[in-house]
Amino acid sequence: MNRLTRGVNDFFFTPVPLGRVAAMRFLAGLFVWIEWWAYKPFIIQHRFLPEDLYQPLLIGRILPIPAPNYWIVTGTLVVVLASALPVMFGYRPRLFGWILFIAYFEWMLIYNSYGKVDHASFGFMVLLLVLCMMPEARWGDREHLSARVGWGFNLVQIAVVCTYFLSAWAKFRYGGLEWANSGVFTWAIIRRGTVFSDWLLEFPALLQFAQWGMIAFELLTPIVLIVYRWKKVQYAIVAFLYCFHIVVFAALTISFLPHLFAMACFLPLERIDPRALARKAKARLTGRKGDPPRDASESEPEPAGTA
């Protein structure tokens, strides 16, 4: 029993250094700044759509959320971007974090309320929520550990894994058992193929094999949570997941970018300290004069490079 309690505690509350919180806040804000013009530019274009095309989701019908119009969409984006800045740089990150979370949620409702719901953002929304509950933090802080932070990132990680695992379930539910033998990848490439994937249309058997591989891989993703004690194994799996998304992006230009940002909380980002790196770079530029002796613990972040 005692071992069980300890195991449960370890799983949910392994303390995580605060430096990772600062890094994740920066990444979260960075994504928000990239998304609206580079990743999902059509969301802001929704401001031109007449109300008749708006199909509110359940939550939009329960809460008194007005149908988006030009000013609601534009205003939501302004609030999202404005609140993201202080979050990124750690100025009153909890207050602005809540503003960001609420505004971003409305932004997601604008995104998903016109007849199609996308599913890449769940982990990212969880990330924005848990960042609101975490203490103030500075980059590169590896001394102060927090069980609350560990819990929060564990929640994001579970959301990330569910995105894979439950999407395998959805394939059984909507596609049936024959999904893996169907022509779904052919169909996807016909619709959104690229120079990297169009040639695959000639090899349908290979595509079907890939479909089996996809199911197997999605069902196996919970392993990444189970191996939390063996960090190297975990980082390797996360690196594999990033590679998977690079391949999918090359083939279909679907990137699941918010999901990728959320997944970064698996990585020891606390090892990155921009100030120390800047000092080092400066020292190198000025001919290594006055290069402050740094201890080994502040060496270059290696696994973070996989992101």
Partner 1 sequence: MRIAATLAMTAALVATSLWGTDDLFPFAPFKMYSHAHDPDGWANSTVLILVNAEGESFPIGDNDTGFRRAELEGQMARFREDPALLALVAEAYEEAHPDEPEIVGAEILIRRYELVDGERTGAETEELVASWTEGEAP
* Contacting positions for partner 1 (CB under 8 A): 8, 12-13, 41-50, 52-53, 55, 57-59, 105, 108-109, 112, 114-122, 125-126, 148, 151, 154-155, 158-159, 162-163, 166-167, 169-171, 173-176, 178-179, 181-184, 186-188, 190-191, 201-202, 204-205, 207-208
CB of 278 to partner 1, least distance (A): 36
Q: Kindly tell me which of 108 and 263 has the beta carbon lying closer to partner 1.
A: 108
- For residue 85, what are the CA distances in angstroms to 3, 26, 59, 273? 44, 9, 28, 19
- The region that residue 140 occupies, defined by phi over 0 for left and psi between -120 and 50 for alpha, beta otherwise, is left
Q: List Cβ<8 Å contacts ≥24 apart for 98-103.
A: 98/132, 100/28, 100/29, 100/32, 100/128, 101/125, 101/128, 101/129, 101/132, 103/76, 103/79
Q: Kindly tell me which of 215 and 277 has the beta carbon lying closer to partner 1.
A: 215
CB of 81 to partner 1, least distance (A): 18
Cβ(292)–Cβ(283) below 8 Å: yes
Q: Kindly tell me which of 66 and 204 has the beta carbon lying closer to partner 1.
A: 204
How large is the C-alpha radius of gyration of the chain?
Answer: 22
CB of 32 to partner 1, least distance (A): 16
Q: Kindly tell me which of 84 and 189 has the beta carbon lying closer to partner 1.
A: 189
CB of 90 to partner 1, least distance (A): 24
CB of 219 to partner 1, least distance (A): 13
268-290 exposure pattern, b = at least 16 Cβ within 10 A, e = fewer: bbbbbbeebeeebeeeeeeeeee
- For residue 252, what are the CA distances in angstroms to 43, 73, 191, 247? 20, 28, 9, 9
Q: Kindly tell me which of 161 and 238 has the beta carbon lying closer to partner 1.
A: 161
Q: Kindly tell me which of 42 and 71 has the beta carbon lying closer to partner 1.
A: 42
CB of 194 to partner 1, least distance (A): 15
CB of 304 to partner 1, least distance (A): 25
For residue 185, the SS3 value is: helix
Helices and strands (DSSP H and E) totals, the chain: 14, 2
Nearest residue to 72 via CA among 44, 98, 95, 100: 44
Q: Kindly tell me which of 112 and 234 has the beta carbon lying closer to partner 1.
A: 112
- For residue 225, what are the CA distances in angstroms to 52, 157, 164, 222, 266? 44, 7, 12, 5, 10
Q: Kindly tell me which of 50 and 293 has the beta carbon lying closer to partner 1.
A: 50
CB of 36 to partner 1, least distance (A): 12
